[in-house]
Structure 1
């Protein structure tokens, strides 16, 4: 966590803006077991390795959207858990892209290039693709970066037929309201309502943020800090980020400090085969999530030493699918399947640490199965390590 904070302070010092979180205390202690009705802490931790000490962070996101469905919707893309049955609130639904601001491509696969994607994302607005009748993979030769003054909405809709590939070499999509290179638009970059980034009906494949250290790194396919963000009907496959490190993560998505702590929505989407130090699919600090009707499968947290890192280790290894750290944040998982994920340390499915013990988690109408935690997890919650206000609320769900 210290390395992350140092980066944030360096990034924001010139503008006098607050950083995303505070540094972690030294040492690593095992929290005392807590009963289900205890006002602070999670259930009893099991496992032979020491569990992480409290740390702190800040954030929480969402994205505004028309309640109307996208006219580009399904295409050939099949994502998420169609039988999940969790109601989707209006602001979490796909954005209507029937009248796009700009279109990538001119009707052929050859016209849909990396350069065209980079240019369109930088320009902002509602973006669609016209790459011909067949599915197409666009090999990204550079990361597409959101310019903070161009929006306030940035919508990237693949129509169910477009894959953006990082070719195993680079991150695919980046938005950071506190990155001066992308333009500061307010004096409070860590808490502003724009840009509002939506990705929908898209596949993100083979992204890799290894070596990227801005804001601490992570986010193999997509990195977001600030504004608001959501994902609808999309797939994330074979994405990567750094394999070691105590607090970086998110092979598919890394999110920091979102507007007024509103939740990131992940709706009807699939995360498969991600590998990172922590959070083989999703990772955040101080950010709330609502994951609806989705599938997170075969993702891995491959670091070693947890957070803070044990002496002689590089750190990481927690949250096979989801890694959440910070203070005030919530996680809601509904209509979702989380299976076959693995953590070398804690939380084969979900790692959740609310350092000031205010955070809460709900699991509804979901199945979490075969998510081994090689180091530690919370007794009675297979695949989960949890420290928060009270034990996770589990309704009509199976954890095994």
Structure 2
């Protein structure tokens, strides 16, 4: 059975007339005079799976025994995320053991680590590491690396803390789409299959740009994913871009559509800085659950105008300075994370969350959200957040200001 085109997914965001989340008629949400502080319960916060999220699967590429979500000593100088976050990281969200790689990019020198080598290795799949010499290296991508759906089922890209993949401000860096026939159809239900399982870890993604990419609705300046499974561990995303206008496209760093069984995308110990897009200056999704742990999202911007659906005479967009989530049947958990200095022209300077069927939930634990202005609208009492879901966001041990 062929999957319905993404138009059907995008229609979720405009279902129902006058959706209050998507225009300036949204509830007035003036910032309260003092920060919103949610105390932690005695005994601390138990790190659990997001409400309603499926149980963890080892198939995502679990770590070796005793593995940590932080890189090993050989991983170089890269230190990303919020080191003091303290949120527990479940086994399936930790870094994958790459001590026995399937293939290695490079032969010991910076010159041997090329865009063509990255493209070839990603297409071949498996556990991929780099051997680019002793010093940090930037690989200037001259083409987007694309996952072949029949190869894997795991695709792990580990930069060892010393590798930057640069889109040079011209192109998207990494692409996976189980419903793209050009990358091979492997099941009759491409929108809900458990492979490939893509992990990026100990890497920097810089200057990706998907502007003008229209397939699957666009977005995903550094990485675009549809289907399978996806996680990010100890990685940095800097100065990534996607289209500046549009009511629903987004994700200057990462755009995700469809994950197997609505299992969450894990983002662990990672940094998102300086991203610019119509919506979601860092992360964006439709109908996808997220667990963001011990991370830092700063100085990202949603620069569209007109919200979603777009007001008459506007191109649309401008919501979710850092994170933009829309659709049905998803959850978001943010723990041990700092979200600061992001901005939205419309709603949700930090987070824009609209569950069209009002089943979605969001939990914020031991996190700080500060200085995230929403120039259009936000939910009263939750500075930096616009939220429509099953109930108000649950705050534990967190500060919003």
Q: Shared fold (TM-score greater than 0.5)?
A: yes
**Counterpart pick for 2:18 among 25, 28, 46:** 28
Matched, 1:196 2:213: no
- Counterpart in the other structure of 2:79: 78
Partner Cα distance (1:133, 1:285) in 2: 40
In the alignment, is the contact (CA less than 8 A) between 2:15 and 2:356 conserved in 1? Answer: no
Matched, 1:320 2:339: no
Secondary structure of the residue aligned to 1:106 is coil
Secondary structure of the residue aligned to 1:377 is coil
**Residue segments in structure 1 that go unaligned for 5+ positions in a row:** 1-14, 32-42, 48-58
Matched, 1:67 2:38: no
**Counterpart pick for 2:29 among 46, 60, 65:** 46
After the TM superposition, which of the residue ranges 324-333 and 22-31 deviates more from structure 2?
Answer: 22-31
| Matched residues, number | 364
- Counterpart in the other structure of 1:309: 310
Taking the TM superposition and a 5 Å limit, the aligned residue runs for 1:108-119 are 108-119=109-120
Shift in Å at residue 29 of structure 1?
A: 4.3
Provide the TM-score with structure 2 as the length reference.
0.88
**Residue segments in structure 2 that go unaligned for 5+ positions in a row:** 31-52
Matched, 1:17 2:34: no
Matched, 1:102 2:67: no
Shift in Å at residue 96 of structure 1?
A: 0.1
Secondary structure of the residue aligned to 1:362 is strand
Partner Cα distance (1:73, 1:292) in 2: 23
Matched, 1:397 2:395: no
Taking the TM superposition and a 5 Å limit, the aligned residue runs for 1:121-136 are 121-136=122-137
- Counterpart in the other structure of 1:182: 183
Matched, 1:147 2:143: no
Residue-by-residue CA offset, 1:173-199 (whole Å, 9 max, x unaligned): 000000000000000000000000000
Residue-by-residue CA offset, 1:259-285 (whole Å, 9 max, x unaligned): 000000000000000000000000000
Partner Cα distance (1:164, 1:385) in 2: 33
Partner Cα distance (2:93, 2:188) in 1: 28
Moved over 4 A (4+): 59-63, 70-73
Taking the TM superposition and a 5 Å limit, the aligned residue runs for 1:377-392 are 377-392=378-393
Secondary structure of the residue aligned to 1:120 is helix
Partner Cα distance (2:361, 2:27) in 1: 16
Secondary structure of the residue aligned to 1:46 is coil
Provide the TM-score with structure 1 as the length reference.
0.88
- Counterpart in the other structure of 1:361: 362
Secondary structure of the residue aligned to 2:255 is strand
Matched, 1:219 2:209: no
Partner Cα distance (2:164, 2:121) in 1: 16
Residue-by-residue CA offset, 1:241-296 (whole Å, 9 max, x unaligned): 00000000000000001100000000000000000000000000000000000000
Residue-by-residue CA offset, 1:208-256 (whole Å, 9 max, x unaligned): 0001011000000000000000000000000000000000000000000
Secondary structure of the residue aligned to 1:204 is strand
In the alignment, is the contact (CA less than 8 A) between 1:193 and 1:227 conserved in 2? Answer: yes
Partner Cα distance (1:334, 1:210) in 2: 31
Partner Cα distance (1:152, 1:274) in 2: 30
In the alignment, is the contact (CA less than 8 A) between 2:61 and 2:154 conserved in 1? Answer: no
- Counterpart in the other structure of 1:232: 233
Partner Cα distance (1:113, 1:29) in 2: 48
In the alignment, is the contact (CA less than 8 A) between 2:167 and 2:206 conserved in 1? Answer: yes
Partner Cα distance (1:299, 1:247) in 2: 17
Shift in Å at residue 45 of structure 1?
A: 4.0
Secondary structure of the residue aligned to 1:346 is coil
Shift in Å at residue 71 of structure 1?
A: 5.0
Partner Cα distance (1:17, 1:114) in 2: 32
Partner Cα distance (1:329, 1:191) in 2: 15
In the alignment, is the contact (CA less than 8 A) between 1:45 and 1:385 conserved in 2? Answer: no
RMSD (Å) for aligned C-alpha atoms: 1.8
Partner Cα distance (1:127, 1:343) in 2: 37
- Counterpart in the other structure of 2:257: 256
